[in-house]
Amino acid sequence: MKIVLRIGGSILGSPPDSATVLAYASIIHKLIEQGNEVAVVVGGGKIAREYIEAARSLGLSRSAQDSVAIQASRLNARLVGLKLGAPSVPTSVGGMVSRLRKRRIAVMGGLKPGITTDTVATLIAEAWHSDALIKASNQDGIYTSDPRTDKSARLLHKVSYQRLVEILGGTHSPGIHSIVDPVAVEMIAKQRIRLIVVNGERPENVLDAVEGRAVGTLVS
Ligand code: UTP
């Protein structure tokens, strides 16, 4: 299977937690041993948000705020890539896909202002014709509304593309906190990309998702 694995910066820790990086490296190696190919897309986490805040306080543009956050995600990607034996971090979709044609693993971070690494992962999924996009997030899956602010929010195990857009559609803003960013949501729905959102605090959830066990939220 061709798998795009998007690891949230909030899961990796800021700076990255070595035990978490190690746990993901072992899961990814297992996936490769099983014959899968894995495109890993890593987020920038808390440090990215701190850089966004610094850039905002300096009166820099939204695009400049995004650009410093992109560098933070690339630094995280470099660390994860070094541990996985794929140290060079592509900075374009074409670069990532051509690396994936030569090797069974590649790691990248951010791409361009105006999006998040959810959209980067979606662009890779589309260009590489992946079988599944898995997001390792800091929530158990997609809820009927934001569980951090709405106590009555319910976890959904299966979601249609239309419902995904109803719940999570919208527009981008730097440092946005959404289980899947609104730009990615629109693309996933349009391209009918199979998405599984799992709680990445338990890295084994990624294996469960790939092996077809019920975990998190399946969007299909
Ligand atoms: P990330 O995608 O790095 O978030 O975007 P994250 O840390 O993994 O977030 P969680 O864990 O899913 O919550 C952080 C910010 O970096 C900028 C945007 O401002 C985004 O909100 N960014 C990131 C871009 O502008 N372009 C990119 O390609 C990636």
Please state, in angstroms and rounded to a whole number, the distance separating the CA atoms of residues 132 and 125.
Answer: 7
With a 6 Å cutoff on the Cβ, whether 110 touches ligand 1 is yes
Cα separation, 126 vs 107, whole angstroms: 16
Tokens in use for 184?
Answer: 């990615």
CA of 23 relative to ligand 1 center, distance in Å: 22
Q: How far is the CA of 19 from the centre of ligand 1 (A)?
A: 22
116-134 mean pLDDT:
97
Q: Which residues pair with 5 in a beta bridge?
A: 40, 134
> What's the CA-to-centroid distance between 122 and ligand 1, angstroms?
13
Average pLDDT over residues 107-130: 97
What pLDDT score does 37 carry?
Answer: 98
pLDDT at 171 over 90: no
Q: Is 45 in the pocket of ligand 1 (CB under 6 A)?
A: yes
147 closest CA partner among 184, 122, 124, 178: 178
Give me the amino acid identity at 209: A
For ligand 1, whether the C-beta of 139 sits within 6 Å is no
Report pLDDT digits (tens) over 37-54: 999 999 999 999 999 999
166 pLDDT more than 80? yes
Res. 176: pLDDT tops 80:
no
**Cβ of residue 77 lying under 6 Å from some atom of ligand 1:** no
Average pLDDT of the chain is 95
Q: Is the pLDDT of residue 122 over 90?
A: yes
Which pLDDT value is given to residue 148? 85
Residue 18: predicted pLDDT: 97
Average pLDDT over residues 173-186: 85
Q: What is the pTM of this model?
A: 0.95
Chain segment 12-28, per-residue pLDDT in tens: 999 999 999 999 999 99
pLDDT tens by residue, 75-107: 999 999 999 999 899 999 999 999 999 999 999
DSSP state of 34: T
CATH architecture of 2-219: 3-Layer(aba) Sandwich (3.40)
Decide the pairing of beta strands 37-42 and 2-7: parallel
- The response to whether residue 43 sits with its C-beta less than 6 Å from ligand 1 reads yes
Q: Which of 117, 171, 195 to mutate to test the pocket of ligand 1 (most atoms within 8 A of CB)?
A: 117
Q: Are strands 132-137 and 2-7 parallel, antiparallel or unpaired?
A: parallel
- Ligand 1, atom nearest to 138 Cα: 11
Tell me, using a 6 A CB cutoff, whether residue 48 lines ligand 1: yes
Residue type for position 62? R
Domain residue ranges of the chain, discontinuous segments joined by +: 2-219
